[in-house]
Chain A
Amino acid sequence: EVQLVESGGGLVKPGGSLRLSCAASGFTFSSYSMNWVRQAPGKGLEWVSSISSSSSYIYYADSVKGRFTISRDNAKNSLYLQMNSLRAEDTAVYYCARVAKGGWGDYWGQGTLVTVSS
């Protein structure tokens, strides 16, 4: 059974940092690209960042470029999102999702809440 479990969310002050993790199981993690997608309270889905299976290709939404860093450790079946210089508008539930070959997110984690507030 495919499972994605996010962790690392919490309350952080503006300007602070946080590192999210996504533990994957039930599939060959090293064969899939992965996504981070977020959802601010009461808002829609926003794609944040993607990383290819071997980390050769990495992309970010303009809203987080230069502040967030996506990475993965295929030996540990884990995906990460390092978030620096956090702003109030980064407050959201952050989901990790597996990217199928055609580019759709076929499995999603349950999400982890990040709250940026003083």
Chain B
Amino acid sequence: DIQMTQSPSSLSASVGDRVTITCRASQSISSYLNWYQQKPGKAPKLLIYAASSLQSGVPSRFSGSGSGTDFTLTISSLQPEDFATYYCQQSYSTLRFTFGPGTKVDIK
């Protein structure tokens, strides 16, 4: 099974900061890596798919990069509505998905 790790597990940042979250897969997953945002009490929301494609309606301050085993989600200028938990997910194993443990972004 493919295992996913994320770092850091949490971070504190200020509005306007550039934020970077890293996700690593236990084996190469090509570009089959997706990012979700989840706010308390809400369903996850797809942000980035296929490592670097921005989901429709998602602000351009969100971007994704990477391939193989190492991936990055970047928020170029953190906004108040971006305080949330972020999860990566591999979809390399067809219909057998794995999520990372999550990164909580809160206010400094």
Contacts and interface: CB of A to CB of B under 8 A. Distances in A.
User: What class of interface size applies to chain A in its complex with B?
Assistant: 20 to 34
Given A45-B87, A45-B102, A50 B43 contact: no
B7 interface: no
Interface residues of B, number: 25
Interface string B35-56: 0101000011110011000010
B104 to A, nearest CB: 10
13 contacts: A44-B85, A45-B44, A45-B89, A47-B99, A50-B95, A59-B96, A97-B44, A102-B91, A103-B91, A103-B95, A106-B49, A108-B44, A108-B45
Interface of A: 33, 35, 37, 44-47, 50-52, 57, 59, 95, 97, 99-100, 102-106, 108-111
Interface of B: 32, 34, 36, 38, 43-46, 49-50, 55, 85, 87, 89, 91-92, 94-102
